[in-house]
Amino acid sequence: MIKRNLPFAAVAVIALVAAPLLLEPFRLGLLAKYLCYAIVALGIGLAWGKGGMLTLGQGVFFGLGGYSMAMYLKLQEAGPGGLPDFMVWSGVESLPALWTPFANPVFAVGMAVLGPALLAVILGTLVFRQRVRGAYFAILTQALAAAMVILLVGQQGLTGGTNGMTNFFELFGQDLADDSTQRGLYIVVASVLGILYLATRQLVGSRYGRLLVAVRDGEDRVRFLGYDPALVKTVTFAASAGMAGLAGALFVPVVGIISPALLGVVPSLELVVAVAVGGRHALAGAVLGAVVMGYAKTAFSEQFADGWLYLQGALFILVMTLAPKGIVGIVGRLRRARTA
């Protein structure tokens, strides 16, 4: 058990101790952003890698969490009786009733997690009871992401429209522009990711986790044994949605913006690609893939502004061609070769 946890402990020390000391504030902020995406990827790894549910709409849940936190931050900035800046520009004269509860931070954070989870429960109950799976489920979640973007863009006075929400200055009384605040946010994000990773790994190793894998490999056989595959998949889908919502809530103060462009079809697909690159059958692979693809996107865009998308696509094709099981597959192959 101790030997098994050594890699996690090493990574935790590097993430929590070394990174804040060695990285400059800008790079530390980028790493915090990658770790937010890694939380989403962890949920995808659970749903897709362990449960066989290819979800192409995690951006929806990420966006719900992000907008929940952004609404709280905007209301704090506006003060009692005030309106967020974009509402003033849009001609809104009074605060919409939907916004009022989000002045409470407990409600905002709770909705960031429970809102996406509840939506996933409703969607999963409707879909999995009808035995919709495979490509049909993937297309359905992708359509949900597209519809979500259209809804947000069309509600300028309620959501900020295409521009979304930005210009956040304080979080719980702390200046978000201060380096110490951003360093604290990074530590919070890294800690949340570590806790969720351990909890998810424990879940996968439990009896429920084995049942989830059995549903992935033979749903009809599990049903004939007396279990309810729809319930198993719905719970897992809701857990992955809750993770995405929490990641969105953390993303907003770290990056300083939330907009429809960050939660549509393309960002959702990028997260799935990241999980595939890291290795979808291993939770560590999902986390690693999100960080690697995030770093690659930044590095390529800085060095090759005109063609970085092609390089990012080439990285995906290269990994998938040489190692269908992702980066963790390469690591496993090298480990077996060394012990042979």
Model confidence pLDDT, tens digit, residues 286-324:
998 899 888 888 887 777 766 767 776 777 777 767 777
| Alpha-carbon torsion (45, 291, 267, 151), positive or negative | positive
CB 40 within 8 A of CB 247: yes
**What's the CA gap between 266 and 268, in Å, rounded?**
5
Token pair belonging to 67: 């907008």
Tell me the pLDDT tens digit for each residue of 33-47: 999 999 999 999 999
Phi/psi-derived region of residue 249, left when phi > 0, alpha when psi is between -120 and 50, beta in every other case? alpha
Residue 1: pLDDT band with limits 50, 70, 90: very low
68: closest CA among 238, 247, 261? 247
CB 166 within 8 A of CB 77: no
The Cα–Cα gap between 32 and 35 comes to 5
- pLDDT range class, residue 2, cuts 50, 70, 90: very low
Could you identify the residue written with the tokens 């992401």? 145
- Per DSSP bridges, beta strands 174-175 and 257-258 are unpaired
Residue 291 in tokens: 């960080």
CA separation for the pair 54, 317 (Å, rounded): 19
Q: Provide CB contacts within 8 A for 101, sequence distance 6+.
A: 107, 111
**Two tokens at 160?**
């900020």
The burial of 17, by beta-carbon neighbours within 10 Å (0-12 exposed, 13-18 middle, 19 or more buried), is given as exposed
In this prediction, residues 14-39 reach a mean pLDDT of 86
Q: What is the pLDDT of residues 158-180, one digit of tens each?
A: 888 888 888 888 888 788 888 88
Mean pLDDT, the chain, whole residue set:
86
Please give the structure tokens belonging to residue 130.
Answer: 């009808």
Residue 315 sits at the vertex; the CA angle it makes with 312 and 320, to the nearest 5 degrees, is: 130
Beta strands in 66-201 (DSSP E): 165-166, 170-171, 174-175
Average pLDDT over residues 182-205: 92
pLDDT at 125 over 80: yes
Position 236 scores a pLDDT of 95
Q: Is the pLDDT of residue 23 over 60?
A: yes
Give the C-alpha separation, 315 to 310, whole Å: 9
**CA torsion sign, 316 to 40 to 245 to 46?**
positive
Q: What is the predicted pLDDT for the residue at 13?
A: 67
State the pLDDT at residue 330.
Answer: 77
Q: What are residue 174's DSSP bridge partners?
A: 171
Please count the residues of the chain: 340
Report pLDDT digits (tens) over 221-278.
988 888 899 999 999 999 999 999 999 999 999 998 899 988 888 888 889 988 988 8
For the beta carbon of residue 139, count every other beta carbon within 10 angstroms. 14
What one-character-per-residue DSSP string does 261-307 give? GGSSHHHHHHHHHHHHHH-TTSHHHHHHHHHHHHHHHHHHHHH-TTT
